[in-house]
């Protein structure tokens, strides 16, 4: 059983309203890149995978996308909810930095399509529905890569997204305290 403020020790959040992480976030990012660039979903892959799939041929355009940094704001807001037995609600914002790396003959074009497509409100609807906002897309940077003695076109596009984190902790109301007041 998880601790509460009554039991002492570490407390873990009890709410499930946390932001998408790990595989769930990879799925959102994959859908965003595939939808905006027109690449087949199978050609938009998580940057880091437990088992690396075979790299497509040099004449195939594809993308690897992944979160490289999650930067929280400096101070979370914590408020106590006195209803029921009580709870502390934590709210903070995070900047989520990701890198979309495009490979193949249309790498620069697809990177530019993603950068520009993120400016269109309709393209951001799926992100917004997941509690994620678009902040900025950086410069498209050419980073050719030598693979099997052959240069492969590669373009890197850094993107910054922002999301809100909400967590509820079992910090209970104080009902009484063993104190005495003397004058």
Longest dimension (CA), the chain: 86
Instruction: For residue 146, give every residue at least 6 positions away whose Cβ sits within 8 Å of its Cβ, in sequence order, or none.
Output: 152
pLDDT of residue 8: 87
The encoded tokens of residue 77 equal 């807001």
What stretches in the chain show pLDDT beneath 70? 1, 16-17
The pTM for the full model equals 0.88
pLDDT of residue 123: 97
Mapped to the 3 state alphabet, what secondary structure does 150-181 carry?
EEECEEEEEEEEEEEEEEEECCCCCCCCCCCC
pLDDT of residue 149: 86
CA angle 9/79/17 to nearest 5° reads 80
pLDDT of residue 161: 98
pLDDT of residue 17: 65
């Amino acid at each position: 059983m998880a601790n509460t403020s009554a039991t002492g020790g570490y407390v873990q959040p009890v709410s499930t309203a946390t932001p998408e992480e790990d595989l769930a976030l990879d799925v959102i990012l994959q859908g965003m890149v595939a939808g905006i660039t027109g690449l087949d979903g199978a050609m938009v892959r998580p940057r880091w995978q437990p088992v690396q799939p075979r790299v497509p041929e040099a004449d195939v355009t594809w993308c690897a996308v992944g979160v490289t940094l999650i930067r929280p704001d400096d101070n979370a807001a914590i408020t106590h909810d006195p209803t029921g037995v009580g709870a502390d609600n934590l709210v903070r914002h995070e900047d989520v930095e990701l890198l979309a790396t495009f490979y193949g003959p249309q790498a620069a074009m697809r990177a530019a399509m993603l950068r520009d497509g993120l400016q269109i409100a309709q393209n951001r609807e799926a992100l917004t529905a997941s509690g994620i906002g678009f902040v900025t897309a950086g410069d498209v940077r050419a980073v050719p890569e030598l693979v099997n003695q052959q240069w492969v076109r590669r373009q890197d596009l850094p993107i910054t997204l922002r999301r809100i984190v909400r967590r509820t902790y079992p910090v209970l109301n104080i009902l009484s305290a063993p104190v005495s007041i003397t004058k």
